[in-house]
Structure 1
Amino acid sequence: MRHDSTTRRWTLHIIISLFLVLISQPYATVDAAAVGKCAENEYENSQGDCCDKCHPGYRLKKECPAQGKRSVCEKCKSGTYLNTSNYNPTCWTCKKCDSRDKIMFTVSNCTITKNSECKCKEGYYMKMLDEWTPQCRKCKTCGDGQLTVGNCTGDNYDHCICKDKHYKVKNNLCKPCDECIGCEDLCEPRFTTEPTLQKTISNNKVSQIVFPICACIIAVMVGVFLLYEAVRIWRKRKRASSNHSSSRDDKAKSEDEPMMEEASSVTEIKDVSISNQLYETELRIELPDCVPREIKIAEFFYFVLDEIPVGRFKELVRRLGVSEPDIERAENDHRACKDAQYQMLKVWSDRCGGGGNNILSCHLIQMFIDTLRDMYLSSCADSVETKFLSQDRPISQ
C-alpha cells in the first residue's frame, strides 16, 4: 500500500510539471514564428525560397531562381536612391531642395545610398508638400497671452498655446480667465494623456515578458518541491532502518548506564570546582576605571583648539549640536577667535551635562573623537584619544 501511495504522488508531480511546460509553449511558438525561416539579409521569394537582398544603392531586377542562388540586382539611376538592404523593384526618388528664393539650401546632395538633405534658413520651418517636395514657410509669431512651445528650426514648428489662466479668443490671441463670462469651460487646466495605442503596446510587451517568467518560476518551484519530497522519503526510509538496528543496541546500552552516570557525576563535580576557581580569580582582578578619571575642561578645550583646523571648527560645533544663535553670540561677545571658539565648546559641554565641577566625562570625549572621525579628521581624533583616553596617561590629581 505504501508503494502504491508513493507511485501516485510521483505521477501527480509529473503531470503538474508537464502542464506547466505546456503553458509556456505558446510563447515559444510565437517567438519562432516572428523570427521566420529566412535570415536577416534574405527575403522569401514567390516560390518560398530564401533569396539574398540587394545592397544599399541597388534595386532587385530578378529574383533568385532557387535556394542558394544569387538575386540579380541593378544600380539605382541618378536622382534615385535606396538607403537599406532591400528587395524593392524600384529605387526611391531623391528629394529636391528649392534654392531659388534663397530660403532653402542643400545640406548634402543625393547619392544612390542617401537622400538629399534640405534645410531652411533661420526664421522658417520645413513642410513637405508631398513625398519628394519640401517647402520653407515663415515661422509663426505668438500673440498676446500665448506661450511658444518648441523651436522653429529644422523640421520643427513653433506651436502657440495659451498661458496659464488664459483662454483662446483667436489663433494668435489669448485673454485672462478673470475676464471670461460664460466661457469657463475654455479655462479648464490642460491634461496630457498617453495615447491608447501606446498603452496597449506597452501592456502587450509586459505580458509577453511577465508570463514566461512566471511560468519559469512555477516550474522551478515544482522542481524544488519534487526534490524536497524525494529527500523526505529517503530520510524517512533511512530513519526506519536505523530505528530497527538501534532497538537491538538498547539492551547493551542499558547495562552501561550506571557506570556512565557515575562518570558524569564525577565530571560535574570537577567542572563546578574549576568554575568556582575561575570566578574567584576574576573577582581578584581589578577592572580598570574609565581613563582618565578626571579631565579638566580647560585643559581639554585648549588642547583641541590647537589641534583642529580653524576653517573646520564651526562645522565641528554644528555637528556637536551647538545652534547658530549660540555660535553668533560667542563671536559677538569675544573678538579673539580662540575665546569665541572656547565659548562654543563651553556651550556644548554644559548642554551635554559635562560642566559639573569643571570636569569633562569620558563619554563626552568619546563623542568628540567620533565626531572628528566622521569629519575625516582622523589625525586630530588620534591626538585627542592618545592625550586623554590612553591607558598610559597618568591620573590627574
Structure 2
Amino acid sequence: MRKCKLCAYVLLVLISQSNTIAYFARGQETVKNDCSDSEYWNEKGFCCNKCHPGFKLKASCPGLNMRSECEICEDGTYLDSSNYHENCFRCKECKKPHSKEISPCTRISDRVCGCESGYYYKKLDALTWVCKECKKCGPGQHTIVQCSGDQNAQCECKENHYQVGKNICEPCAKCQEECPDVCKTTTPRNPVKSTSPINSSGTLQQILVPVCACITVLALGVLVLYEPIRLWKKKRQALSSEKSLTALEDEKLIIRVEPNRICESVSFANQPCKTEQSGKLPDCVPREIKIHEFFYFVLDEVPIGRFKELVRRLGVSEQNIDRAEQDHRNCKDAHYQMLKVWSDSGRGGGSNVLPFHRIQMFVCTLRDMCLVNCADNIENMFLSQDTSASC
C-alpha cells in the first residue's frame, strides 16, 4: 500500500516538472519570435543584433541590451547583407578564357564578371559559367537579335529566302512550300473559283451606292451653306459701299469760271447766269454741284476697261490706283476714289473747288483717248455747248 502511494507521488512530481519544462519552452519560443529583422536568437536565450553588410560576427552579445562584436571582412571577401556569419564569402575570379571584370570585388558585393566582345556569358549551373563565342549568321541570313551580355545572336533567313541547312539560306527561285510569296500571282490558279460577272456587278454596286450617297450629302451641305454666305458677303459689300458713299456725300464740287472768261464760255443746263446791265462783260455765277453728281456721271459714261488709262493720263500715280483697289473691293468705289485723288490734287480755288480748266482738261483727255461720245456727254452736262475753249 505504501509502495503504491510512493509511486503515485513520484508520478505527480514527474508530470509537474514536464509541464514546467514545456511552459518555459513555449515562453522561450514566443520570445524568439519577437526578434526583429536586424536581430537573431542567441543560444543563450535572448535576441542579439546582427552585423552590418561587410562585417562578420566575432562574438555574440553577452547579455540583453548588449551588442555583438563584429569585424570587417578581409580583402577578397564580402558579405552583402546583415548577418551573424563567422566567415565572409570569397569573391569570384574572372579568369575564364575571354572573360573580363565588369565591377570589382568589395566588402559588400561580389566581383561581377563578363565576356569580351564577340562572346556572351553562359551560366552552366549555380557556380559554373563560361564565355562562349557569339553565333555568326550564314549566307542568306541576317541578324535579328544582337549578341550581348548573356544573350547569343539570333539569325533568320532574308526576304524571299528559305533555309536549306543549319545556318544556310538560299534565295527562292520557284514556287514551293517554303516560298509562298513567289507563288502569288494576279491570275487565279483555279478558274472554277473565279468571281462571276454577277458577283462583280453586285460588289461594284455595293461600293458605288454609299459613295454616291456621300457625294450627294456633301453637295447638299455645300449648297445649304453657300447661299447664306453669298447673301452675307453681298450685304457686307453693300454696307461698305453705302458707308463710303455716305462719307463722301457731304463733299461738294464748285465749278468756278476764271475772271478773264466771258459768260459764253460756260453755261450749265438750266443754270441761268446773272449779268450786269452795265457795259462790262457778264460774270457767270454757277451753282454748287455735289461732288458725287459729277463723279457718278463720269463713272456711268466712261467704260470700265478704259478707266485706269484715263486716271493715269490725268496724273494719278500707280501707288494711288493700287491703294484704291485694295481699299475698295467694289470696282465702282475704287474708281470713285481714283477720281477723288485727281480732284484733290488740282484744287486751286480753295477747299472743294474744281477750276474750269480742270474740267476742260478732263474732257480733252477723253477726246485724246478717242472717247468722243463720253467727252461730248460730259461737256453737254457741265459745260456750255458753244464754249470758246478747245482741246
What TM-score, normalized by structure 1, do the two folds share? 0.32
What TM-score, normalized by structure 2, do the two folds share? 0.32
